[in-house]
Amino acid sequence: MTTTATPRKERHSLYAPEPFINRIPQWLSVLMLGLLGLSAWQLVVSLELVARILLPGPTETFEEIVVTAQGIVTGDHVAEALWITLQEVLWGFLAAAALGFFLGVLTGETLLGQRAVMPYLVAFNALPKVAFAPVFVAWLGFGVESKIAMALFIAFFPVIVDTAAGLATAEKDALVLFRSMGASRWQTLWKLKLPHALPFIFAGLKSAAVFAVVGAVVGEYLGGGGGLGELIRLSAQYLNLARVFALIFYLGLIGLALFTLVGWIERRIVFWHRPEPTEIKGA
């Protein structure tokens, strides 16, 4: 009886301990990376590699973040601008989710959608979307409606693509089984394709959550009407860059909160799916 010896390299790869960097807790790695970035920022400011009027230090920025937070709590103009931006982001995201899902199903499930609708969607996605902000302002005015339209315009395309891609992941054997059981097209979509597509749909919604913030701020920056984007533009005109960074920080919190909310809903609905961390390999 002969046995085949396991090659030394393969045995080493099977029993090699996990690299130390992979065993660091996520919260600690995030903290370490943040501290490293702050240290590099402070070093650039201390060495005066960039003029302080153009790049305030972390201390000045943190102080401005605290002042802005106090203004939000007391309900001054920053709180009013934050409320305007929140409305634009939420309504823009919800509209992008609904429209993107509908067009994604239309594109993924019908030949008309694949042949006629998808080319137009790709063409619209290739357009410079920032240039449409004045157009939406001209059409809808300086209120929140034009900013919601801008958020929708930027955010809905990832939902379309991921929804259509998710519907195409249903296994062929399962499709054959559904047909053999006499399932209608609607039953196949509802009971087979959509459950398979949910991880893809939520991936598109996470992208839309971030893009909705971008769209709303771009609309405010170019179209006025209030909001944090307009405050950023006014602060930049007076070279108050510490205030600009503080406002950007709160915009980041809005995007992070919406992204986290979508992820929380995903974990409750798509409880059977746990995405594995992907390994980036060199060529």
Find, among 167, 163, 193, 195, the residue nearest to 97 by Cα.
163
CATH of domain 59-269: 1.10.3720.10
Tally of residues, the chain: 283
Confidence of residue 91 (pLDDT cuts 50, 70, 90): very high
What one-letter code names the amino acid at 226?
G
Share above pLDDT 90 across residues of the chain, in percent, rounded to a whole number: 41
Q: How much is the pLDDT for 278?
A: 42
Average pLDDT over residues 197-204: 93
Q: For the chain, give every domain's residue range.
A: 59-269
Q: Helix crossing, 26-46 with 58-74: angle to 10°?
A: 110
Structure-block tokens of residue 93? 């995201």
- Tens digits of per-residue pLDDT, 113-165? 888 888 888 888 888 888 888 889 889 988 899 999 999 999 999 999 999 98
Confidence of residue 283 (pLDDT cuts 50, 70, 90): very low
What is the C-alpha separation between 189 and 110, in angstroms, rounded? 12
SS (H, E, C) the chain: CCCCCCCHHHHHHHHCCCCHHHHCCHHHHHHHHHHHHHHHHHHHHHCCCCCCCCCCCHHHHHHHHHHHHHHHHHCCHHHHHHHHHHHHHHHHHHHHHHHHHHHHHHHHHCHHHHHHHHHHHHHHHHCCHHHHHHHHHHHHCCCHHHHHHHHHHHHHHHHHHHHHHHHCCCCHHHHHHHHHCCCCHHHHHHHHHHHHHHHHHHHHHHHHHHHHHHHHHHHHHHHCCCCHHHHHHHHHHCCCHHHHHHHHHHHHHHHHHHHHHHHHHHHHHCCCCCCCCCCCCCC
Query: Model's pTM, two decimal places?
Result: 0.84
**Whether the Cβ atoms of residue 53 and residue 239 lie closer than 8 Å to each other:** yes
